[in-house]
Amino acid sequence: MKRRTGIKLCGMRHPKDIEACESLDIDAIGLILVPNRRRTVTMGIAKEIVNRVPDSIAAVGVMANPSMDEVKQWVEHVPLDRIQLHGNESPECCHRIREEVGIPIIKVMHVDDQGESSGEVGAYASVVDAVLLDSGAGPLKGGSGQTFSWDKIPSLVDPWQKEGIPVWIAGGLHPENVAELVRRFAIAGVDTSSGVETAEKKDPKKMATFVERVRNVDNE
């Protein structure tokens, strides 16, 4: 059966970034709703962007350790399709958000220098819809442009896959390294932010090349 790798392009900040996505064969775009980050968008901009996203592309809101009130405020004003929890949210917190807000949860697990990942499979498998492995590098965690050691991917991914949880990979992915990642490992999807920017702005050419390189491997 032909493979199809999920692709999420994250950190959209302007409605024109979405124009550049419209012709791309991607699955999701992400909006940074974490306060005080370089790519953080206001509620107004988030709403404007999501309203332009084609139906075939999911709009993902990226949050880190949000309160229940904050989550509810975002989803009340912005029609998000998924919530990406990029902090240290407990299984109980994931469960509560999923139940009370009714939106699928992507839980980010951070991979440290030793290749160890946060998050016990047994505790999270029943309360999340997908897992995203990202580099734990840097004090801010997320959007760092840093890769983690890929050698551990099979042993990190396998226990989730056995529970039927799709695992996506992020952290320092760009058009020059994504084909190798997708070719080497059986993963559900890839997610990038810094790697498709030039001078801190989304670069339509890099986004298109990133997608093309993934789809070329899918078609090998």
Ligand X SMILES: O=C(O)c1ccccc1N[C@@H]1O[C@H](COP(=O)(O)O)[C@@H](O)[C@H]1O
d(CA 119, CA 130): 13
Q: Answer yes or no whether residue 144 interacts with ligand X by CB under 6 A.
A: yes
**Cα dist. 112→118, 121, 141, 178 in Å?**
8, 17, 11, 20
Among 18, 21, 58, 62, binds ligand X (CB under 6 A): 62
Q: Answer yes or no whether residue 34 interacts with ligand X by CB under 6 A.
A: yes
Contact 78, 72 (CB under 8 A): no
Question: Considering the complex, what minimum distance in angstroms separates the CB of residue 2 from ligand X?
Answer: 25
Closest to 54 (Cα-Cα) out of 83, 13, 25, 14: 25
Q: Answer yes or no whether residue 195 interacts with ligand X by CB under 6 A.
A: yes
Among 145, 159, 166, 204, binds ligand X (CB under 6 A): 145
Among 57, 193, 211, 213, binds ligand X (CB under 6 A): 193
**SS3 of 154, please?**
helix
Q: Answer yes or no whether residue 39 interacts with ligand X by CB under 6 A.
A: yes
Residue placing its CB nearer to ligand X in the complex, 103 or 122 = 103
Residue placing its CB nearer to ligand X in the complex, 119 or 171 = 171
In sign, the C-alpha dihedral spanning 181, 182, 187, 192 is: positive
Q: Answer yes or no whether residue 61 interacts with ligand X by CB under 6 A.
A: no
Question: Considering the complex, what minimum distance in angstroms separates the CB of residue 200 from ligand X?
Answer: 10
Q: Answer yes or no whether residue 11 interacts with ligand X by CB under 6 A.
A: yes
Question: Considering the complex, what minimum distance in angstroms separates the CB of residue 63 from ligand X?
Answer: 8
Helix ranges (H only) for 1-125 are 15-21, 43-52, 68-77, 91-101, 121-124
Residue list 84-103, contact with ligand X (CB under 6 A): 86
CB atoms within 10 A of CB 77: 13
- Count of residues interacting with ligand X (CB under 6 A): 25
The residue at minimum Cβ distance from ligand X is 143
Helix ranges (H only) for 42-191 are 43-52, 68-77, 91-101, 121-124, 153-162, 178-184
> Which residues lie near ligand X (CB under 6 A)?
10-11, 30, 32, 34, 37-39, 62, 64, 86, 134, 142-145, 170-173, 191-195
